Amino acid sequence: MGKGFLDNSARECDPATNLARPVRKKPTMSTISSLFVTRLYKAALSDHGAVDVAELEASCLSIAEDDEAGQDWCEENGYPGYTSYASLTDLPWRFPIFEQVKAALDKHVAAFAEDLAFDLEGRALKLEDMWINILPEGGIHTSHIHPHSVISGTTYVAMPEGTSALRLEDPRSAMMMAAPARRKDAPEELRTFVYVKPVVGEVLLWESWLRHEVPMNMAEDDRISVSFNYSWG
Ligand SMILES: [Fe+2]
């Protein structure tokens, strides 16, 4: 810390002039704080209500096989593998297993909102969308954010050995005009990119503005996950 500062509320007598003068406080010890923190929530999906992940995997695969509109959309848009994002907007209402996922997620999201100290003014965060992602070998989901939502996340259904982690990016990268790169051994909270390797049955939540991507799936088997957005309103 630099020099001490003047406290105008406390005064002492100046022996030279006999006039009152502010007391100069002693400098405090050095401290460094972390401000404007980015929170990442990780938990077992079943911590808030049991969900049979094997049944969820079987449902994802059978929905992908039957959803021709979704398959067409993936082909037309060059999406590797399958997503139900553009074709099925009501998974929890169509399939009981997704209703169970929603019930569990509602509780995880409420817990995360509490951690984030959100003042929700009595209105809960609500599920807006939920969709299946099946990423084959060589598939990639490039860097993106989830506009118009508050909390986004993914629960992991099949994560074969060697498949991609989730890559999260420091939201301030656009402001780093002249900053040096971070050392490779920088503490996780100071890194520009953080790779998180979730396991099957886990759920990750983050604020929807946090940029993320799924690097190329180098495993032979499909990487299967279910993603979602929660909004407030
Ligand atoms: Fe995403």
Encode the chain (233 residues) as per-residue pLDDT tens digits.
Answer: 444 444 555 666 767 777 777 777 777 789 999 999 999 999 999 999 899 999 999 999 999 999 999 999 999 999 999 999 999 989 988 899 999 999 999 999 999 999 999 999 999 999 999 999 999 999 999 999 999 999 999 999 999 999 999 999 999 988 878 889 999 999 999 999 999 999 999 999 999 999 999 999 999 999 999 999 999 98
| Cα–ligand 1 centroid distance for 144 (angstroms) | 6
**All residues at 6 or more sequence positions from 55 whose CB lies less than 8 Å from its CB, including other chains:** 97
Partners of 156 in beta bridges = 225
209, 215, 221, 226: CA torsion to nearest 10: 0
Q: Are 227 and 152 in contact (CB under 8 A)?
A: yes
At residue 155, φ and ψ (nearest 5 deg) are: -115, 145
| Cα–ligand 1 centroid distance for 104 (angstroms) | 19
Give dist(CA 8, CA 43) in Å, integer. Answer: 50
| Cα–ligand 1 centroid distance for 213 (angstroms) | 7
Closest CA to 170 of 131, 210, 132, 125: 210
| Cα–ligand 1 centroid distance for 209 (angstroms) | 10
| Cα–ligand 1 centroid distance for 119 (angstroms) | 25
Q: Output the pTM of the full model.
A: 0.87
